[in-house]
Amino acid sequence: MPLPRWFAERVEPTAPDAELRVSTIELFFDLVFVFTITQLTSLLVGDFTRQGGEGFTGQGTVQAVLIFGLLWWMYSGYAWLTNTVPPERAARRVLILCGMAGFLIMALAIPRTFSGSGVAFAVGYLVIVLVHGGLYLQATAAIARVLPFNLAATALVFAAAFAGPPWNYALWTAALVLIWMSPIFIGQKGFPLHPAHIVERHGLLVIIVLGESIVAIGIGATDGHPGAALIVAALLGLALTASLWWVYFGRGESGPEHALMRAEVVQRTRLILGAYFYAHIPILLGVVATAAGIKKAVGHDHLGPGPAVALAGGTALFLLGDLWFRRVLGLGRPAVRVAAALLAAATVPIGLWSSVAQLGALVVLVIAMICLENVL
């Protein structure tokens, strides 16, 4: 039986000098993905309120990292997919929507993935893996080297759904290690990428994820009256989020794009893998942790150890991730950024005394780092 015409046709890669913009369906896709990873915040917040006998210390954080690792691998796969196979035809858009459905299934399963909803998560993951592999085959047979790793990781997640602790955690860890190490065996040949699209797509994603911190301010404010203290805390939460935006976008997108354009095709793919896959992991996890901390900081006089660590550690993680990202592309200033990250992590005791004071200290610290980097 012949393949459908829309599927069998070959797609020529977009020329590097041709304009390729992020489409509206990609932004729509990103909204669903961001909802999926914001579900991880519930796991982190669960660590703040966990009682003795309800699991091990840091259980929610461990679960969030494992789940995020698998989600991020496939999100990056879809970013590379639409970079190579633009979703212009109706049939391709329908399949992208099917991938979005897979992410939504996983989002709904995340709060109980390790306690009853593991099968639902695995089904959603299988959907996005199959859609991704099928669409990518239109452009390059190189995806055949990737698909077995993705399917093997999916099988491990299915197996974890039927295993109890600690074996379910071991299976999840094996799945994560398998796909994260797969580029070593797959190689980067056969995956030409358009730099401008990759830079724009990830930049828009970071903006949407930063929006989660704004949502966290609103959620945190619902527990208190809009008095002076709450308003100050909310404004500081906004200022911290805006400062993180400035860290990532303050120098514009031309630097990363030019750095990628100067590299030859295979080297460019390696740079994109390092800068936009690996280095963006701490950036996005940092935002998720910071949002969880802001959610608790707004409307509370002081923080418990968990929220204070999330607020300080999330900011530090974001700064280090952005440093990693820029170092891969040859754009970093490590000394100032490392010092700022260490000082951010040291604000935990301030939060135990006053949530507003910790927010204010982090805002002052990040703004001072930005100013110092511009002077040096």
Report how far residue 247's alpha carbon sits from residue 44's, in angstroms, rounded to the nearest whole number: 24
Q: Residue 193: pLDDT band by 50, 70, 90 thresholds?
A: confident
Structure confidence at residue 376 (pLDDT): 72
| For range 150-155, the mean pLDDT | 96
pLDDT class of 149 with cuts at 50, 70, 90? very high
- Tens digit of pLDDT for each residue in 55-67? 777 888 899 999 9
Q: Per residue in 290-302, pLDDT tens?
A: 988 888 888 778 8
Instruction: Report whether pLDDT(19) > 80.
Output: no
Residue type, 64: A
Is residue 357 pLDDT above 90, yes or no? yes
Give me the mean pLDDT over the 228-247 stretch. 91
What proportion of the chain, given as a percentage, has pLDDT over 90? 52
Give how far the C-alpha of residue 287 lies from the chain's centroid of Cα atoms, to the nearest Å.
8
Separation of CA 32 from chain center: 12
- Give tens-digit pLDDT for 304-321: 888 899 999 999 999 999
105-133: average pLDDT? 94
Q: What pLDDT does residue 160 have?
A: 96
Confidence of residue 355 (pLDDT cuts 50, 70, 90): very high
Q: How confident is the model at residue 12 (pLDDT cuts 50, 70, 90)?
A: low
Residue range 245-261: average pLDDT?
86
- Sequence-distant (≥ 6) Cβ neighbours of residue 138 within 8 angstroms: 7, 9, 10, 11, 85
The model scores a pTM over 0.75: yes
In this prediction, residue 184 has a pLDDT band, given cuts at 50, 70 and 90, of confident
SS3 labels along the chain: CCCCHHHHCCCCCCCCCCCCCCCHHHHHHHHHHHHHHHCHHHHHHHHHHCCCCCCCCCHHHHHHHHHHHHHHHHHHHHHHHHHHCCCCCHHHHHHHHHHHHHHHHHHHHHHHCCCCCHHHHHHHHHHHHHHHHHHHCCCCHHHHHCHHHHHHHHHHHHHHHCCCCCHHHHHHHHHHHHHHHHHHHHCCCCCCCCHHHHHHHHHHHHHHHHHHHHHHHHHHHCCCCCCHHHHHHHHHHHHHHHHHHHHHHCCCCHHHHHHHHCCCHHHHHHHHHHHHHHCHHHHHHHHHHHHHHHHHHCCCCCCCHHHHHHHHHHHHHHHHHHHHHHHHCCCCCHHHHHHHHHHHHCCHHHHHHCHHHHHHHHHHHHHHHHHHHHHC
pLDDT of res. 201: 93
Mean pLDDT of 256-274: 88
A 10 A CB-CB count for 19 gives 9
Q: Distance between CA atoms of 233 and 217, rounded to whole angstroms?
A: 9
Q: What is residue 252's predicted lDDT score, i.e. its pLDDT?
A: 72
Higher pLDDT among residues 46 and 274, named by residue: 274
Q: Which of the pair, 142 or 175, is modelled with greater confidence?
A: 175
What pLDDT digit, counting tens, does each position of 79-97 carry? 998 988 888 888 889 999 9
Is the predicted pLDDT of residue 122 greater than 90, yes or no? yes
Arithmetic mean of pLDDT over the chain? 87
